Structure 1
Amino acid sequence: MSRDQNLSGEERFSHSELRLRQITDTIPAHVGYFDHDWVFRYGNRRYAQWFGTTSEGMKDRSILEVIGQHVFDQVEDKVRRALAGEEVSYEYSMPGRDGSALYARSTLVPDFSPEGEVVGCYVHAVDITEQRRTQSALAQAQKMEAIGQLTGGLAHDFNNMLTVVMGNLQGLAEALADHPEAAAIAAEYVEPAMAAAEGGAGLVRRLLAFSRQQPIVPMVVEVNELVLGMARLIRRSLPNTINIATASRDVELHALVDPNQLESALLNLALNARDVMPNGGELRIECSLDCIDGAVAADLELASGCYVQIAVSDNGTGMDSATLTHVFEPFFTTKKFGLGSGLGMAMVYGFIKQSGGGVRIRSRQAVGTTVSLLLPCAPRSTLLRPVSQAAEAQPAKRLDGRLVMLVEDDDKVREVVRKQLSSLGCAVLEAESGHEAADMIENIPAIALVLSDIVMPGGMDGRALARFVRRFRPELPVVLMSGYAERTETGREDADVPMLDKPFTQERLVEVLHAAIT
């Protein structure tokens, strides 16, 4: 005879009820039941814990009492529909104990009496917080990648236009230099126009920093020393009502990063912190060695390991979850119109990601914000030269009389650069495509230098042309121009070809050409 058969009917019922409760408490779901009076009659352990109570604690309490006003406002209409006889599925959110958002997907199934009346509802819900975070991270990554690609294309065209503008302005100023009266009048108009064009070039550089296409010069940097130096500069930009403090958990922290870009990023973060502390507060910059792995590394799209962390914290107004989801997008700003470009955080994000690091941000309204920059470590004993550093300048050779092959598909840009080369005493051959240039290089031995745009139609771009020159005439210097800097893989045949970023001044053109022929 089995153990259950020895039990009375009431004992068997109690045993079955206990067994059923154990099952519902074990399954990975929120299970509950409320009646037509909107009162909970049952909730399993996971469901009760979700709302910070116990199964006994939620029994015989109203729905509003158990789930709170925030969730109740989201589900009230669904409960009414379910008690009217409709099976309803929906999602809702609620704040967690640490302030982060929690998400659940819930289904309400009406409980019908034998007479067909709804006497209550069964609740089945699951925690989808991690799923939503993963979806959000994927959507954000795809959006940022799309914006980055768009930025690169726009930068190419915009820099071509700025090259024409700046080249013609500089040519105008030089043409009028021998006529004092005309030169004075022209300067009144040319100089502001040139300054505006240079400002436009700076805007493009910040966009490229976001899209990770801005050239950087990483080297070994002692982060504590850099932060202390920046703290002195930042103090001058902060009102007396804001205190600045620095701290380090490690004596020496060496990161592989572009120091100029890092200083710019820290200044951006400090100015943002200043703006969210209008009544004063504290700005804290703390450096440490942070080792991450598993889910933390995956969320930051980083390999497991140790990174140099620079955490910039304020006790300002903080940000809500909606603002946090957009904070790294270019042109997104919470400042009043005209007080911010919305490129500061986008530049920080792009620079850190391009450097092989990650950015994490924590913020709570009325508490403050912490932005942590994670940078790749560099061996302490290794003193690296800048990745893209050219050899030290040697005495420049004259460009007079050299025959330069100018390759550019944009006729207006080609015209401006041709004039600049001619003013340097160069003879110029022009080509609209890589194939046209390759034919002339093959048949005209007098060509002494090749200056080519990178992005060109016709199947042979500037990099392919440079590789052709390397094989056919290895002694012939090549300089590449680009409206935006493409990242070059280490070990590529054309990795060490000098680059001239558009827009450029004639002085910069001379500098790069001299370096190429030295």
Structure 2
Amino acid sequence: MSSEQQTAGATGLSHGELRLRQITDTIPAHVGYFDRDWMFRYGNKRYAQWFGTSSEGMKDRPILEVIGQHVFDQVESAVRRALGGDEVTYEYSMPGRGGELLHARSTLVPDFNAAGEVVGCYVHAVDITEQRRTQSALAQAQKMEAIGQLTGGLAHDFNNMLTVVMGNLQGLVEVLAEHPAAAAAAADYVEPALAAAEGGAGLVRRLLAFSRQQPVAPVVVDVNALVLGMARLIRRSLPDTISIATAARDVELHALVDPGQLESALLNLAFNARDAMPNGGELRIECSLDCIEGRAAADLELSPSCYVQIAVSDNGTGMDSSILSHLFEPFFTTKKFGFGSGLGMAMVYGFIKQSGGGVRVRSRQAVGTTVSLLLPHAPRTTAAAQPVPRVPTEMVAKLLDARLVLLVEDDDKVRGVVRKQLSALGCAVLEAESGHEAADMVENIPAIALVLTDIVMPGGMDGRALARFVRRFRPELPVVLMSGYAETRGATREDGELPMLDKPFTLERLVEVVRAAMA
């Protein structure tokens, strides 16, 4: 007698019945049967495990008792329809044993007797959790991309406006400097206006950080040292009811990242944690090296590798799934009106993604939240980027004295402001409002000593295309690019080597960039 026949005899099942049960236990689906009294009479192995039991454990038990109240509330109406004679397909969700949300799609097929009465229902269900996760990730990526594109367009126009505002205010300050009495009287009006304009520029930078279009200056950063330094600053910003602790699992952790923006991101996370602990608690910042592979890397849109992880944790109020799904969207905030712009987490997300890393969030209501920043690991010997040294205006003025600068900008108001700034450096200014017009001037006016051009321009030739033309026609002629945002479409490797002037800019910043271009 075969082992199958022996098992069949021991269980009271025929060989055919045992074979059928083995098949249903093996197929990748949930298969079951319940009668018109809402009692399960059969469930295959996968179906039983889905609800944390066994095939024998769910047999002859009520549906509600097996699947639980949470799922029962979602499927009750479908069961009633199926027992009424309809074939029904529906989806439901339930929390898994690890706290994750599971999803299933189920079909109920009525079982009719010879008299045409429904005596029960067959169940066929499949786990669609991974499909839902993929769909959700795709929808989120598309939404973030759309918001990013919108942000870039707004930033360009807004930064042009701020360039005009700040340039004219700075010009007014210089004019009034010759009249001390008037300067003193106007200071109360000009200084707040300048401060507001600079605040607007900062707001745009945060929007661009979200859309990954904000220029970053990555260097090799000792993460442990940076976090320790930030902890001292954060401690002074927290109430006495909140303690702060830092920990490092690895002695040496170096990441390739913009240190200023990383500090800003950590401050944002610390302030969010503070607000989540109104009655006090603990803020913990822990640094480690985390090697991510497989599904974890795919979920974070990262290449499998080792990353420096900075985990900022609190034991505050936590967040539910609805808040988590909107966490990184610009202007989304749970704070009262006037107490938050909703750009903090969006800025953190954009900066980390632009740096080649990822953000991982774990949160449970009434338990707390952990936000983990994952940054590209860098060998300690990687060369660090060197900042451009500040150069006195007088030195640049000597470089440009009586020289001819070609200013290319389609916005006449911006062009007027920049022309005045260049004139203040002692140079003559030639203006063009399109790339094609500027190219004709470069080709026919040998006296041009510098080209300062906006990137985004109409007419088929933008600033980068003009720069490529200049390199071919007059390779010795320096070119400086201006932009209201770091647009990268259409850029080439050579374009990245050109000096960049981000709008809005001060006269001092103009001096630095022009000096670097003409050195």
TM over 0.5: yes
Q: In structure 1, give the amino acid aligned to 2:143.
A: K
Write the mapping of 1:170-249 to structure 2, written as runs, cut at 5 A.
170-249=170-249
2:517 alignment partner in structure 1: 516
Pairing 1:364–2:374 present: no
1:81-126 Cα deviation digits (max 9, x unpaired): 1111111111111011121111000111111121111111111111
Aligned position for 2:32: 32
Determine if the alignment matches structure 1 residue 70 to structure 2 residue 70.
yes
Deviations 1:60-80 (A, max 9, x none): 222111111111111111111
Work out the CA distance in 1 between the residues paired with 2:154 and 2:310.
32
**C-alpha separation between the residues in 2 aligned to 1:417 and 1:68?**
69
Aligned to 2:446: 445
| Structure 1: unaligned runs, 5 residues or longer | none
Rounded to whole Å, the distance in 2 between the matches of 1:4 and 1:457 is 79
Q: Which amino acid aligns with 1:452?
A: T
Q: Percent identity?
A: 82
* 3-state SS, counterpart of residue 149 of structure 2: helix
Whichever residue aligns with residue 238 of structure 1, its letter is L
Work out whether 1:262 is the aligned partner of 2:262.
yes
Q: Which moved more, 1:169-178 or 1:86-95?
A: 169-178
Counterpart residue number, 2:420: 419
- Aligned-pair distance for 1:5? 12
Task: Give the equivalent residue in structure 1 for 2:111.
Answer: 111
TM-score, normalised to structure 2, is 0.94
Residue of structure 2 in register with 1:485 after alignment: 486
1:487 Cα offset (Å): 4.3
Contact 1:99 1:364 in 2 (8 A): no
Give, in whole Å, the separation in 2 of the partners of 1:423 and 1:9.
101
**How do 1:280-295 and structure 2 match up within 5 A?**
280-295=280-295
2:22 alignment partner in structure 1: 22
Name the residue aligned to 2:380.
380
Trace 1:301-316 onto structure 2 (pairs within 5 A): 301-316=301-316
Q: Corresponding residue for 2:85?
A: 85
Aligned to 2:135: 135
**Contact persistence 2:360–2:371 (CA under 8 A):** yes
Q: Are the equivalent residues in 2 in contact too, given 1:396–1:515 (CA < 8 A)?
A: no
The farther-off stretch of 169-178 and 26-35 is 169-178
1:474 is matched with 475
* Contact 2:217–2:385 (Cα < 8 Å) also in 1: no
2 CA distance for matches of 1:5 and 1:329?
A: 62
Distance in 2, matches of 1:230 and 1:243, equals 14
Quote how far apart the aligned CAs of 1:133 are: 0.5
Question: What SS does the corresponding residue of 2:497 show, helix, strand or coil?
Answer: coil
3-state SS, counterpart of residue 496 of structure 2: coil
Q: Distance in 2 between matches of 1:226 and 1:2?
A: 70
The aligned residue for residue 507 of structure 2 is 506
**Structure 1 Cα separation of the partners of residues 24 and 369 of structure 2:** 41
Q: 1:173 to 1:116 in 2, by over 3 A?
A: same
Q: CA deviation at 1:13?
A: 5.9
CA distance in 1, matches of 2:178, 2:226: 47
Q: Deviations over 1:423-446 (max 9, x none)?
A: 333221110111111111221122
1:462 is aligned to: 463
Matched with 1:410 is 411
Given that 1:489 and 1:495 are in contact with CA atoms closer than 8 Å, whether structure 2 keeps it comes out as: no
Taking the aligned partners of 1:292 and 1:258, their CA distance within structure 2 comes to 22
Corresponding letter in the other structure for 1:461? D
Query: Contact (CA 8 Å) 1:330, 1:343: kept in 2 or not?
Result: yes
**Cα 1:384–1:179 shift into 2, 3 Å:** closer
Q: Distance in 1 between matches of 2:286 and 2:447?
A: 59
Q: By how many angstroms is 1:476 displaced?
A: 2.1
Deviations 1:462-496 (A, max 9, x none): 11211222222223222111000134999722322
Tell me how far 1:3 sits from its aligned partner: 12
State how 1:275-354 maps to structure 2 within 5 Å: 275-354=275-354
Specify every segment of 5 or more residues in structure 2 that has no aligned partner in the other structure, as ranges: none
Q: Is the 8 A contact 1:488 1:495 kept in 2?
A: no
- Which moved further from structure 2: 360-369 or 185-194? 185-194
Give distance in 1, aligned partners of 2:199 and 2:389.
29
Per-residue displacement from partner, 1:279-311 (whole Å, max 9, x unpaired)? 111111111111111221111111111111111
Deviates more, 1:393-402 or 1:413-422: 393-402
